[in-house]
Amino acid sequence: MALAGVKSMKINRLEIALVASCIALVLLLVAVGIDIVSGQLSWIHLVLLFLTIGFFLSTVTRYASR
């Protein structure tokens, strides 16, 4: 077992939200980048990107303040 020396790995909901928002942010940045390169910028991608950035920043500030 690779994790035999680890006593307790507690992963709380805030850390899961942080990882999920990072993944969503990267995927939306890729989608907006593809839209820009193809010349067909979708407004829904921009709206989702701004909402995800807001969620990411609020999650980071909650994680940093604990």
Instruction: Tell me the DSSP string of 23-40.
Output: HHHHHHHHHHHHHHHHT-
Question: How many angstroms separate the first and last alpha carbons of the chain?
Answer: 32
Place of tokens 């609020």: 58
Instruction: Reply yes or no on whether the pLDDT at 9 is more than 90.
Output: no
Q: Looking at residue 3, what is its pLDDT? A: 57
Q: What is the pLDDT of residues 22-44, one digit of tens each?
A: 999 999 999 999 999 999 988 89
Q: Looking at residue 23, what is its pLDDT? A: 94
Sorted by where each begins, the domain ranges of the chain are 13-64
